[in-house]
Amino acid sequence: MKSLSLHQLYKACVLKDLPFKTTKQLEPLAEIVGQNRAQEAVRFALAMPHGGYNVYAVGRNGLGKRTMMLRYLEHHVDTDQQSHDWCYVANFEEPRIPKLLQLPAGKGTQLKQDMEKLMSRLVKVIPQTFDSDSFLERSEQLKNEYGKKQEDELEKVAAQARRKKVSLTVTTPGGYRLVAMNGEEPHTAESFQALTDEQRDKFEDAINKLEKKLRQALRKLADWEQEYADKQQALNQETLESISGHQIDELIEKYKDLPDVVAYFEAVRADLVENLEIFLDDNEEQAAIAYASLDKKMPRRYLVNVLVHQKTNEVPMVVEDNPTYHNLFGYVENVTYKGTVFTDFSLIRPGSLHRANGGYLLMDAIKVLEQPFVWDGLKRALRSKSIQINSLERELTLSGTISIEPESVPLDVKIVLFGDRETWMLLQEYDSEFAELFRVTADFENEMYRSDDSQLLYAKFIASLVSEKKLLHCSNKAVARVIEHSARMAEHQDRLSLHAADIANLLRESDFWARQAGARLIQDLHVERALESAKYRSSRIRDQFYDSIRDGTTLVTTSGKCVGQVNALSVLSTGGFEFGLSNRVTATCYYGDGAVMDIERDVKLGGNLHSKGVMILSSWLASHFAVNDPMHLSASLTFEQNYGEVDGDSASLAELCALISSLSGIPVRQDLAITGSVNQFGEVQPIGGVNEKVEGFFTTCQLKGGLSGTQGVIVPTTNVQNLMLDSEVVKAVRGGQFAVYAVARVEEAITLLLGKPAGKADDKGRYPKQSVFGIIQQRLEKMREHERQEHARDDHKDPSIH
């Protein structure tokens, strides 16, 4: 059998397919490279005006889902969309439910500044005006006027009383006494008692009549009191209107297109009159609370709390890295003043849902699900299309602290969740609302097809990473080397890995080595250096294994021949770094019922897939050598020097070859290693990690006395397309010191390993005598014949059996 040619071992990127000298000549990609399916899903979700079309982006970490999504949104967002500012203002009628104002982008801060300007003027002007001589004069005049009317009215009653010899005395405000007089002095109890009955009755009658008149007079006084208060209020209003009226009118004119804002200004106008004392008293509490809440010193009643402020009319895009309940839905802060916990509408703080309103909110699905109450709150907000600021403390505890309930904010947002497939499937399975709210799945590819066009596209993707990360530009040779490494990462000659994080890291490290060397461009040797450096940093455990091969602790043979012993290949992973190792698989035969004992399974070191592989090769053996008669040879199989769990069926071909060698007694070449899985029909199936396995045996051969020229690895034919071997292996193959063979059937592998043809059965099911299968067939027939003779002898000795 011929070994594989060089071009089958490594698919190089030809420079003529890259029509540029450096990445400087390339236009960086604005699109998402190789993610047409995901891109279409996102485009559809963004264009859909209805609710529920939120996006769940599925793909493993490091594919650059977030970067791609942000880049796509920046270039494809509909900028005609109107974004808004949202403000909370005091609700003068119902202080516990602050009012929400919606304004065009940029107007919220303007409104806040306009109100601050108005208030800072009023804080100065109101005390001055209400302390001025003209106002005090008019106020005094009103007071005197009503005071005079009251005095006159009371004097009338007092005069009538005097005529009846009764004194009217005014005590505390609203307190009056009518006392019978004895000349100049009031009657004492004794002197009143000394009067005749007629005189006493006369006094009592007079006092009763006077009391009636006094009550009428007091009613008039109360009406006048109210009239005075109304006139004083009208005077205040008139005075206030003269100071603030024209300014409020100007503001109403300025915001006339916004009815809610106009209504708010009218409410402020009315409320100012009611709350003049705020401006007239020097209120230290206001100042203390303003200081504690980092606000300006001004009447808090008239603050404008700009919840969300958009500088321009651009569609908001918010990435929330820490989606806690408060960070997402906003919260109400508290201020403690003299031991009292205080809050008001100006202490409402926004969450990222508020900031993303009218645009897009991007979050990590697992982080959202990890935070208590967030997932339910998010679904509630999306269903109701509104953001309600609820205090989480109130939901969790029974504390009765006074809180406010702001008007809910209308919500119009598209949410993009990033997550892996497992999380997505769990949500589909266990959350019935998930499919309704996240109707679009953007499924990100791990790989893209490799063609001349896609290689150029990939070069542009590299150019965009270079410009984005501010790295040195790459030469076309460096780009070619990155493309080759990408194919190696994808484990396929005709695929390219889309794992953007790995490619970005490789470029960063190549940039480091290029700068260290004082180069102006990243060259292929810098990329090579970066790859070597990364491999060296991660390979401590691999080198320990190799040391055990070198010093003979791990028993491996790479020359000569041996019966029932095959070099199988495995892959070990140590936290992102994978390497191949040679494992000795051995088989022994003994008289029995044809069963194959899998030692790994019996001692519970074999995984399910490994056990399945052994069962399949057992059935293959039975179908070849025990169709009509039982097999009188049993066998046992094991991985030598394996002290951990082994799983996967990629050693089943090696195990089968070891069994065939043991059954036939023909020795196996030890200078060849083999990997592959086998099915019941003897076809060789593909396996994973083929590059690492070939390189692992290549290094083993180097460690065990160097390359002899006959050594090599047998791989499944279906794995040839996955070969992107290390340059050192390719170089050895070119020099004829190492070989890689591809097999499609068990028979081909046996021929290579045992050095004899496997043999093909004729019409009667007989294999050629000198073939491997023929030798096994003859051995089994001899055993069956021997078995029959033994039975016949036993029957002859004991006729009673019949």
Q: Which amino acid, 469?
A: K
What DSSP line would sit under 476-532, residue for residue?
Answer: HHHHHHHHHHHHHHHTSTTEEE--HHHHHHHHHHHHHHHHHTT-SSB-HHHHHHHHH
**Strands laid side by side in the 414-419 sheet:** 317-320, 360-364, 414-419, 55-58, 440-443
Q: Which residue is listed with tokens 């004082």?
A: 518
**Strands laid side by side in the 99-104 sheet:** 99-104, 84-89, 305-308
| Tokens standing for residue 642 | 């394996």
- In whole angstroms, give the CA distance from residue 583 to residue 214: 120
Q: What is the DSSP letter of 23?
A: G
Nearest to 601 by CA among 651, 637, 568: 637
Q: Which amino acid, 749?
A: A
**What residues are labeled active site?**
650, 693
- In whole angstroms, give the CA distance from residue 32 to residue 40: 11
| Degrees, nearest 5: CA angle 754-760-763 | 160
- Phi, psi for 281 (deg, rounded to 5): -90, 140
- In whole angstroms, give the CA distance from residue 580 to residue 761: 37
Q: Can you say how many angstroms the Cα of residue 452 is from the centroid of all Cα atoms in its chain?
A: 35
Q: Taking a C-beta distance cutoff of 8 angstroms, is the pair 533, 513 a contact? A: yes
Collapsing DSSP states into helix, strand and coil, what is residue 370? helix
Which residues, in sequence order, are bridge partners of residue 84? 104
Please state, as a whole number, how many other Cβ atoms lie within 10 Å of the Cβ of residue 373. Answer: 16
- In whole angstroms, give the CA distance from residue 531 to residue 507: 10
| Beta-carbon contacts of residue 546 (< 8 Å; ≥ 6 apart) | 699, 700, 703
Provide the phi-psi class of 673: left if phi over 0, else alpha when psi is between -120 and 50, else beta: beta
| Tokens standing for residue 517 | 């060397």
Collapsing DSSP states into helix, strand and coil, what is residue 565? strand
Collapsing DSSP states into helix, strand and coil, what is residue 320? strand
- In whole angstroms, give the CA distance from residue 437 to residue 55: 9
